[in-house]
Amino acid sequence: MILPDPPDGRELSRQYEIRFAGREEYRRAVWGRLTAFLAQRYSIEEGSSVLDLGCGYGEFINGVGGGDRHAMDLNPDARRMLDPGITFHEQDCSQPWPVGDLNFVFTSNFFEHLPSKDHLMRTLNAALGALKPGGTLICLGPNIRRVAGGYWDFWDHYLPLTERSLEEAMKIAGFEVFDCVGSFLPYSMSRGRRAPGWILGLYLRIPALWRVFGKQFLVAGRKPGPAS
């Protein structure tokens, strides 16, 4: 099968600049609360080895304390956004990864940018291979069932997914899915109102609100085998 070429790094740099300019401080504040929530939910402890897949400007991986930290993206600007000590991998995620023995792989709003299901399956296989037995893949992304036509408001969206289709793909790749939430976060931080950070903190503590306002899924799966 002939796969489409991955996006050009310069094109990604321009897209990020257009989409997130002027929102950097707000995004860091929001991600600080979200990272703390996810670290507690999935027991991401100090010293864990973590890779942020499609890291963007590094808001998640910069907020994960200590340990062996990695970030992967095709946007060359991502490198300068990362804290010292984070290893940056500028590469196509569907190709073999130069890293292993990870406790966690995290990705947010990334799979929808992959050009095909084949790219996604190759990426899931690479993530499985990079994780330790018992290691966890955590995925956030827009749920096409909840977002509907608004999904296509972003130029670089290709692959529509729901929590159920991603769960199935992860199981095919070999993951044991243990957390599957169809409605988690609101759709986007790149447009619309900038809610105060305390509102997000309150929102995360009340799952009943997720079912009303959540348009992104949250899916997590483990690599089979005893945790090491």
In a domain, 6, yes or no: no
pTM of the model: 0.88
Q: What is the pLDDT of residues 158-190, one digit of tens each?
A: 999 999 999 999 999 999 999 999 999 998 654
In a domain, 195, yes or no: yes
CATH number for the domain including 118?
A: 3.40.50.150
In a domain, 2, yes or no: no
In a domain, 3, yes or no: no
Structural domain boundaries enclosing 132: 18-222
Q: What is the pLDDT of residues 131-167, one digit of tens each?
A: 999 999 999 999 999 998 888 888 889 999 999 999 9
In a domain, 175, yes or no: yes
pLDDT of residue 12: 59
Q: What is the side-by-side strand order in the sheet with 176-181?
A: 87-89, 69-72, 50-53, 102-108, 131-142, 216-222, 176-181
pLDDT of residue 1: 45
Smallest CA-to-CA distance from 95 within 77, 71, 119 is with 119
In a domain, 1, yes or no: no
In a domain, 180, yes or no: yes
pLDDT of residue 46: 86
In a domain, 13, yes or no: no
The Cα 46–Cα 56 span in angstroms is 22
- Helix, strand or coil, per DSSP, at residue 105: strand
Element holding 26 (H helix, E strand): helix 24-41
Per-state percent for the chain, helix, strand, coil, to nearest 5:
40, 20, 40
Task: Count the domains in the chain.
Answer: 1
Instruction: Please list the ranges in the chain whose pLDDT falls under 70.
Output: 1-24, 188-194, 228
